[in-house]
Amino acid sequence: MSATLELTQALIACRSVTPADGGCQVLLAQRLAPLGFKAEHLRFGEVDNLWLRRGTARPLFCFAGHTDVVPTGPLDQWHSDPFKPEIRDGVLYGRGAADMKTSIASFVTAIEGFLAQHPEPKGSIALLITSDEEGVAVDGTTRVVETLRARGEAMDYCIVGEPTSVKRLGDMIKNGRRGSLSGKLVVRGVQGHIAYPHLARNPIHLALPALAELTGMVWDEGDEYFQPTGFQFSNVHAGTGANNVIPGSLEILFNFRFSPACTPDTLRAAVHTVLDRHGLDYRIDWSLSGMPFLTPRGKLVDAVSRAILDETGHETELSTSGGTSDGRFIATHCHEVLELGPINASIHQLNEHIRVADIEPLAGIYRRTLEALLT
């Protein structure tokens, strides 16, 4: 059994459903202590975070990830206990196998292999580990970054171990992400009997023309790195449940995934302009959960791309697609941030898994990246 596979299994065995860490961070701190890593256990609210660092010199290279996992779902639909890692036909099964305990194990063994060959690297190495990525993401990475910023501890390069590969290991890395802006729209009408519509004001009828206009709008065209900004309704609710009552209000949840061509202010203004033009009586509660970020081609992207080619024999694709990640918090404190991890086809699913044959190559990619940037 390889060292990375063994550590991956040990991490999967930790029951760390968000926001619980399940003992993963203590295991990691103990594992890296003999190599000179200083551990800071940073607890905010109900969340455990870990900052591990070796060295004080610049540049500082950081691996970032999360030990928390999503709930298992129905246990009777798993083919084996999700917290008892099991290998069947060359595939490792367990909650967190792909998202993202294999990445964290690979961080560790990559560091061990790198330091065995380069005990005095040109710079420092750190790990930023949280147990609040799959949850509300309030007391996790963002709080650690705030702590580092307050004491002037800057990062130069960061790899987040999110599962970014699509069909084969390393075929895609995320060198940025779109921003996320959500809104809760409440359109007010007047409740009444459905047989007397002249005595009521139906907020659904009133809102439909504006909603149709919003869904048809082009917000931007995207660019070399980013898809066009997208707008989607996610929830719609109105009425009492009776079929003879005109509702008094309509509640709609919506979300923008936006590129740098837009800003939260321009998007908010555009929505309000449409709703005002249609004469609606409404309110919107806005929530910004992340700004877009981008790491263009440079030292980190080039080093990781080369590492993937040397380890797998294949080129990689740069992408900013998909949802948000903790990279959005780190990017406010580190100019070069990207995400690289295993195949993501089974993440958050029943019987989550990863190919055993991909595990050591992932550690190899991380190790080669360290060699490119710190030697």
Which single residue is written with the structure tokens 């030990």? 67
Question: Residue 233's closest CA among 253, 213, 216, 212?
Answer: 253
In whole angstroms, give the CA distance from residue 313 to residue 100.
Answer: 24
On whether the CB atoms of residues 363 and 110 are closer than 8 A, the answer is yes
Place of tokens 């995320």: 174
Token digits of residue 346:
């089974």
Instruction: Walk across the sheet containing 282-290 and list its strands.
Output: 230-238, 249-258, 179-188, 282-290
Catalytically annotated residue among 112, 132, 133, 352:
133
Active site residue 139: no
- At 190, is the secondary structure helix, strand, or coil? strand
Looking up tokens 């980013």, which residue turns up? 226
Report the C-alpha gap between 116 and 110 in whole angstroms: 10
Residues near 306 by beta carbon (within 8 Å), at least 6 away in sequence:
368, 372
Catalytic residue among 48, 68, 139, 352: 68
Element (H, E) at 43: strand 38-44
Q: And the tokens for 28?
A: 């990691």
- Which amino acid, 7? L
Give me the half-sphere count of Cα atoms (radius 13 Å) on the Cβ side of residue 102: 35
Task: Look at the chain and count its residues.
Answer: 375
237-245 contacts at long range (C-beta below 8 A, 24 or more positions apart) = 238/203, 238/204, 243/194, 244/193, 244/194, 244/195, 245/191, 245/192, 245/193, 245/194
For residues 218 and 232, what is the distance between their CA atoms, to the nearest angstrom?
12
Peptide bond into 59 cis (omega under 30): yes
- Phi, psi at 329, each rounded to 5°: -80, -40
Q: How does DSSP assign 220-246, residue by residue?
A: ----SS-PPPEEEEEEEEES-S-TTEE
Tell me whether residue 68 is one of the annotated catalytic residues: yes
Beta carbons of 92 and 358 less than 8 angstroms apart: no
Active site members:
68, 133
